[in-house]
Amino acid sequence: MDGPRTLVVSGASRGIGRHVAMRAQAAGWRVIGLARQTDAGAPFEMRACDVADSAAVRETFRALRGEPRLHGLVNAAGIASMNLLLATPPETMRRLVEVNLLGTMYCCAEMGRLLARRRGGRIVNFSTIAVALGLRGEAAYVAAKSGVEGFSRAFAREMADFAVTVNTIAPGPVETDLIRHVPKGQIDAIVARQVVPRMAEAEDVWQLVAFLLGDAAAMMSGQVLHVGGA
């Protein structure tokens, strides 16, 4: 069937998710962005969905059953909290797990069902270099994102029989709203521990996403790839 492939991008209202959605649209994908609040000015279709709400995720993806060229999912929705665990409220811990880990799992489960029927597709999830570096002051965030990495490796095996690849990108610090209020000295210390000691840009992340979504990455699955190197 002719026409552009369809890509679903969660967290498409800002940050890396927004950049990925815009670059994918420019590259010829039909993009459907998901966010808690939609943006009427986005150059791609937006649908309201809180990824931490399993019922909302189920309804959103069921509405995509009729998409004839549905092929990819990028789970870029996420939140961070940089604080010592002893000073982190239980509600914050819970929300970190709900959005980062469960949100990823909910979207993967629903998209996985759709892609399995089509016998092919690409899923890209997001972790963080904080997992590999075991960053002080990010224990709760690292716990949630560690879950994403372990889940993605196991889910990749479950989807292999359907020719669906599942990979994880774990960037170092990228200039987005997620780190805007983190002290510069703290960011510099993280960057200094990377293999490539410089801040990444959203475009660096997109280039890796684009590869993983493409046909050339058919043999790449179950991998965790670090932007910046860990």
Annotation marks residue 141 as catalytic: yes
DSSP state of 179: G
- Decide if 38 contacts 46 (C-beta within 8 A): yes
Among candidate residues 141, 151, 155, 206, the one labeled active-site is 141
The alpha carbon of 136 is separated from its chain's Cα centroid by a whole number of angstroms, namely: 23
Residues 6+ apart with CB under 8 A from 41: none
Determine how many CB atoms are found less than 10 A away from the CB of residue 158: 13
Residues 61 and 105: their CA atoms lie apart, in Å, by: 13
Residue whose structure tokens are 């996420």: 78
- Decide if 63 contacts 48 (C-beta within 8 A): no
How many CA atoms lie within 13 Å of 230's alpha carbon, on the beta-carbon side? Answer: 18
Residues 195 and 185: their CA atoms lie apart, in Å, by: 18
Tell me the catalytic residues: 141
